[in-house]
Structure 1
Amino acid sequence: MASSVALAVSSAMRTCWDDECDAEHTQLSAGELRSFHEQGGFDLPVASVAETVTAGQSYAKCADHRLVGPEVLASCSSSLLAEALGAPLLSTGRGAYCYGPKSPVSGRTVHLV
């Protein structure tokens, strides 16, 4: 299960993280994610208005500590979803900064995959 915000952010993520790279990277992960979703067994719940506002408030707390970006917003949304479901919160090593000590998510255990 993934939050819709996390899937949206992941779909648009670039494949190269070198800030000085001037190559044109046109390959995005959207196709791979869509294929994964179409295999079944994957739920993409839509957040309610209240859940969206709460995720935005969590993001504002992150921004107060200069922890910003679409990945951080996705982590706030995903954290709330995991908490509501009582499910483990999974992330990648690359995304671990989203759950830093100044994040409102920091009290939760994040399992890195």
Structure 2
Amino acid sequence: MSCKCEDSEKMIAIFTLVRDRWKETGAEERLGPIFSFATDGDSTCRPAGHQLFLKTELSVTSKLYGTLSHMQGLNLATGEGWCTLLRNRKGMKLVNGHTVNSAVLACYLAWLPDHVGTSITAF
């Protein structure tokens, strides 16, 4: 993806460009949203990915916070317009051996105001 001479700001621009072009070209409508983004974890990609994909922490006032904050190993941060492993059917394994996946997440999303059935599964 890169020649490894970029700094983290340039990598953020590259990641953002990929995300934006996915939407602008209609790929999201035809193929679905981007649900995962991976890097090789080098010293440029790692901070760029962290800054872009982990920028917003789940609010303590959220109805989900009380439950999700007690799940050891679960990162409560996400980025704008990016999905996480939680939305995948396989989900992600937590340190305690439990799996959090889209089905589990859907149960908690049902607690949010204005979210029922199709509004939960639509994204």
Instruction: Please tell me the TM-score bracket, short chain as reference.
Output: 0.3 to 0.5
TM-score (norm 1): 0.33
Structure showing the higher helix proportion among its residues? 1
TM-score (norm 2): 0.31
> Greater Rg, structure 1 or structure 2?
2
